[in-house]
């Protein structure tokens, strides 16, 4: 199979028929063998009924429905797991991503050797203050932190080589950082293509102001995980050891100074009367706690295989 199109959706009943017809038209015009996997992330409208109705007219359509809303990352992960195509295309269900971009993205993966190609919505129709400016700041920060030179890291329209989506794990809200996760997995041929961003035709945006805070926290997480996710002891253990040794050295120096002054019959100050002694004690205790945190992190990292267990209510196709 040439292409799997993964479409996470949440309350998009109005746009789904038009999107499916558009995808099918593009695929048929280019002679691709394909499947479309629509993952309903616990919609409260009639989105799933629409998917079921579309299935009767489009045999290439597959549908997966969550019992409740888990988030976009969960929908993408389940779609990636179910995909069978040599190239996997992801796009949002709100018609702001154009299926007409699929052939060019497919060619970049198949013929130009890219592992991942991300869309770049150079001209956007989103509000300036609430989306475009924060998006520029976000992308600049991620480029600096990750070293991946993409202008639109969070664009929903992306293309992946099959083994990329089978090698990464998208959880929490890490869908924003899929290129970073791919790079961590060893896929370094990451490119981008300018794509058309269309005005929203139906419904409203599902993301509020909380995405900015969550995005920043997720960035910290992905940076930490990229460096110390497999070996948290390397971070916590190193820092804890340094702090423990620092506190120990200070305490030994204070005690040694007192003993030396006492041996030479010089005036000295009791160790427990010196604030520096308690600073050293606190530093040493914190060092032990950090070392313990690293040890616990090692134990957790070895038993986290169930992060992506989601309750699927229905499945068709």
Q: Are residues 86 and 49 in the same domain?
A: yes
Q: Are residues 263 and 164 in the same domain?
A: no
What pLDDT does residue 305 have?
56
What pLDDT does residue 31 have?
96
CA–CA distance, 299 with 291 (Å, rounded to integer) = 13
What pLDDT does residue 296 have?
82
What pLDDT does residue 303 have?
64
Q: Are residues 164 and 272 in the same domain?
A: no
What pLDDT does residue 302 have?
61
Does 54 reside within a domain?
yes
Q: Domain holding 213: CATH number?
A: 3.90.550.10
Q: Are residues 211 and 284 in the same domain?
A: no
Q: Are residues 55 and 105 in the same domain?
A: yes
Q: Are residues 217 and 287 in the same domain?
A: no
Handedness of CA 245, 247, 251, 253 (dihedral sign): positive
Instruction: Kindly report the length of the chain.
Output: 317
Name 238's Cβ contacts closer than 8 Å, sequence gap at least 6: none
What pLDDT does residue 299 have?
74
CA–CA distance, 93 with 13 (Å, rounded to integer) = 9
Lookup: tokens for 75? 């929908």
Does 316 reside within a domain?
no
Q: Are residues 74 and 204 in the same domain?
A: yes
pTM exceeds 0.85, yes or no: no
Does 210 reside within a domain?
yes
DSSP 210-258: HHHHHHHHHHHHHHHHHHHSS-HHHHHHHHHHHHHHHHHHHHHHHHHHH
Read off φ and ψ for residue 240, nearest 5 degrees: -65, -40
Which range of residues forms the domain containing residue 195?
3-228
What pLDDT does residue 57 have?
94
Provide the β-strand partners of residue 62: 37
Whether residue 62 contacts residue 48, with contact meaning beta carbons closer than 8 Å, is answered with no
Does 29 reside within a domain?
yes
What pLDDT does residue 203 have?
61
Q: Which of 188, 206, 228 is the last residue in one of the domains?
A: 228
Q: Are residues 171 and 56 in the same domain?
A: yes
What pLDDT does residue 307 have?
54
Ranges under pLDDT 50 in the chain? none
What pLDDT does residue 209 have?
54
What pLDDT does residue 53 have?
96
Domains of the chain: total: 2
Q: Are residues 269 and 120 in the same domain?
A: no
What pLDDT does residue 126 have?
62
Does 110 reside within a domain?
yes
Q: Are residues 44 and 110 in the same domain?
A: yes
Q: Are residues 7 and 147 in the same domain?
A: yes
Q: Are residues 146 and 209 in the same domain?
A: yes
């Amino acid at each position: 199979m040439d292409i799997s199109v993964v479409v996470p959706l949440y309350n998009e009943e109005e746009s789904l028929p038009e999107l499916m017809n558009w995808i099918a038209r593009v695929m048929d015009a280019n002679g691709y063998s394909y499947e479309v996997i629509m993952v309903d992330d616990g919609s409260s409208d009639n989105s799933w009924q629409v998917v079921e109705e579309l299935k009767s007219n489009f045999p290439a359509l597959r549908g997966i429905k969550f019992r409740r809303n888990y988030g976009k990352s969960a929908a993408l992960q389940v779609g990636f797991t179910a995909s069978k195509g040599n190239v996997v295309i992801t796009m949002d269900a709100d018609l702001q991503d154009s299926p007409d971009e699929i052939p060019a993205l497919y060619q970049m993966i198949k013929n130009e050797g890219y592992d991942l190609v991300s869309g770049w919505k150079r001209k956007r129709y989103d509000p300036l203050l609430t989306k475009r400016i924060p998006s520029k700041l976000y992308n600049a920060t991620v480029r600096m932190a990750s070293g991946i030179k993409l202008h639109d890291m969070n664009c929903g329209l992306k293309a992946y080589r099959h083994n990329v989506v089978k090698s990464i794990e998208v959880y929490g809200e890490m869908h924003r950082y899929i290129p970073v996760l791919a790079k961590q997995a060893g896929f370094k041929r990451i490119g981008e293509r300018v794509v058309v961003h269309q005005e929203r035709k139906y419904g409203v945006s599902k993301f509020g102001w909380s995405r900015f805070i969550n995005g920043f926290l997720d960035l910290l997480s992905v940076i930490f995980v990229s460096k110390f996710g497999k070996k948290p002891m390397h971070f916590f253990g190193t820092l804890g050891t340094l702090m423990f040794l620092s506190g120990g050295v200070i305490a030994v120096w204070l005690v040694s100074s007192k003993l030396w002054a006492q041996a030479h019959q010089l005036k000295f100050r009791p160790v427990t009367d010196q604030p520096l002694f308690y600073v050293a004690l606190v530093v040493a205790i914190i060092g032990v706690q950090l070392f313990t945190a690293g040890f616990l992190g090692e134990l957790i990292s070895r038993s986290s295989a169930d992060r992506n267990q989601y309750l699927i209510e229905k499945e068709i196709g």
